[in-house]
Amino acid sequence: MNHAVERYLAPTSLTQALAVLAESGGATVLAGGTDLMPQSRAGRVKFARTLLNIRRVPGMDMVEVADGKLLLGALVTISTLVDHPLVRDHAPLLSQAADHFASDQIRNAATLGGNLCNASPAGDTLTPLMALDAEIELVGLDGTGVLQSRWLPLDGFFTGPGRTQRKPNELLRGVRLPVAPDDQKVAFYKAGVRPALDISTISIAFAARRRDRAILHDVRLALGAVAPTPIRARRTEALLEGKALTAELVRVAAASAASEATPIDDVRASGWYRKELVLNMTQRILEDVGNN
């Protein structure tokens, strides 16, 4: 299959897994494998000598609510994000976005942690989690073999296409995000050549609080596939923050979102078209929020 791989390990504890990662030469981490395998076949990912399957590490597939936060383990599958009642109730935006993810077969194997660490600017769970103020936990062993943990805001985790703040000796253990407040309005939009089984041409995740058609609070607008990483459209968020949606504001905000996008031309679309989509669809999303 791949002649670079000399050793396959499937540890049954987190410490074992982290110990393997801490070895010199590190390891290629395998969870669902739904991106890893095609990427390696296409020559875009080179395997390390050790292939580390983390799926047998216990506890990393948890879905829990505690202290006003939804906690999701890195091995939670995309299918779980679509179907799990806690995700549907407390992170409807994430659940909705996950239902745009690939096909059922891929959703059953692909993991949340894999989608995040893969760090594709077009990753389907990235923009909703950024719009929901998610944080991620990275764990690793220090020089004395003691487990160290650090939490980072998801926004800032991504440093480029396929690149993140994760150090080679670290694993992403899980994600936490505030449970959705009652007055949260969310919207997710994904463009593609076909309505299913597609990589997004662009994606937009929107979240804000709004009671009784009044002003918007805590506005979050995340854009996917329009920059080297998914981005928060912060200037547009600031334009909308504390305002009531008017036709004029919607128009200005949509133009602002498009100006924050810096997409490239690639096999899926041109940069020009991506900006047009951000403009048109931000406008549609805000109109829909305004009308509901």
Partner 1 sequence: MSEVLQSTAPSTLIGQRIPKLDAPDKAAGRTRYVHDIQLPGQLYGAILRSERVHARILRIDTSKARALPGVSAVITAADIPDQRPIGVVKDNLPLKTDRVRSLRDEIAAVAAESEELARHALTLIEVEYEDLSAVTDAADSLLPGAMLIHPPIAGAKSGDPVGLAGRDDNIAMRFDYVHGDVGQGEAESDVIVEDTFYLHYVTHCCMGVSGVIAEFDAKGNLLLYSNTQVPFLHKREFAEYLHIDPSRVRIIQPPIGGGFGSKLDIYPFEVICVYLARATGRPVRMVYTREEEFMASPTRQPVRLTLRSGCKKDGTLTFRSVHTLHDNGAYTSWGATTPVVMMQAFASLYRLPHCEYHTVAVYSNNPYAGSFRGYGNLQATFAIESHMEKMAAAIGMDPLAFRLKNAHVKGEETGQGNIFRSCGFQDCLKIAAERSDFLHKWREYTGKQKEPGRFKRGVGLAAMLHVGGGAKIYQSDGCGTIIKIDDFGHVTLITGASEIGQGSETVLAQLVCEELGLPISAVSVVNNDTEITPWDVGVHASRTTFVAGNSAIGAARKAKDKILEAAAPRFACAPEDLDMKGGGIVRKATGEMLTNLPRFIRSLHFAQQSDLVITTNYYEPPSVHFDKGYKGDISAAYSWAAQVVEVEVDLDTGAVRLVKVTGAHDVGRVLNRLGLEGQIEGGVVMGQGYALTEDLQVEGGKIRNPNFRDYKLVTAPEVPQMDISFVESMDGEGPQGAKGVGEAPAISMAAAIANAIENATGVRITSLPFTPERVYRALHGALPELPTTPKVAA
Angle between helices 247-260 and 271-291 (to 10 degrees): 150
Token pair of 189, please? 């939009």
Nearer to partner 1, 69 or 284 (CB): 284
Q: Does 251 bind partner 1 (CB under 8 A)?
A: no
How far apart CA 149 and CA 157 sit, in angstroms, is 15
Q: Does 171 bind partner 1 (CB under 8 A)?
A: no
The residue whose two tokens read 């128009």 is: 251
Least separation in angstroms between residue 265's CB and partner 1 is 10
Q: What is the DSSP letter of 168?
A: T
**Count of residues in contact with partner 1, rule CB under 8 A:** 26
Nearer to partner 1, 11 or 192 (CB): 192
Burial class of residue 88 (count of CB atoms within 10 Å of its CB; 0-12, 13-18, 19+): middle
Q: Does 88 bind partner 1 (CB under 8 A)?
A: no
Token pair of 107, please? 């959703």
Q: Say if CB 173 and CB 31 are below 8 A apart.
A: no
Least separation in angstroms between residue 267's CB and partner 1 is 5
Q: Does 13 bind partner 1 (CB under 8 A)?
A: no
Choose the stretch contacting partner 1; rule: CB under 8 A; options: 146-154, 197-205, 211-219, 238-246. 197-205
Q: Does 143 bind partner 1 (CB under 8 A)?
A: no
How far apart CA 59 and CA 51 sit, in angstroms, is 21
Least separation in angstroms between residue 199's CB and partner 1 is 6
The residue whose two tokens read 């976005």 is: 97
Least separation in angstroms between residue 274's CB and partner 1 is 9
Q: Does 195 bind partner 1 (CB under 8 A)?
A: yes
* Interacting residue with partner 1 among 5, 71, 197, 215 (CB under 8 A): 197
Nearer to partner 1, 64 or 266 (CB): 266
Phi, psi of 151 (to 5 degrees): -105, 135
Report which of 58, 109, 64, 61 is spatially closest to residue 87, judged by C-alpha positions.
64
Nearer to partner 1, 9 or 197 (CB): 197
Q: Does 292 bind partner 1 (CB under 8 A)?
A: no
Which positions ≥6 away from 93 have C-beta within 8 Å?
Answer: 128, 131, 132, 180, 186, 187, 188, 205, 207
Side-chain half-sphere CA neighbours of 256 within 13 A: 18
* Interacting residue with partner 1 among 7, 23, 25, 38 (CB under 8 A): 38
Q: Does 41 bind partner 1 (CB under 8 A)?
A: yes
Q: Contact positions toward partner 1, by CB under 8 A? A: 1, 3, 38, 41-42, 191-199, 201, 267-270, 272-273, 276-277, 280-281, 284
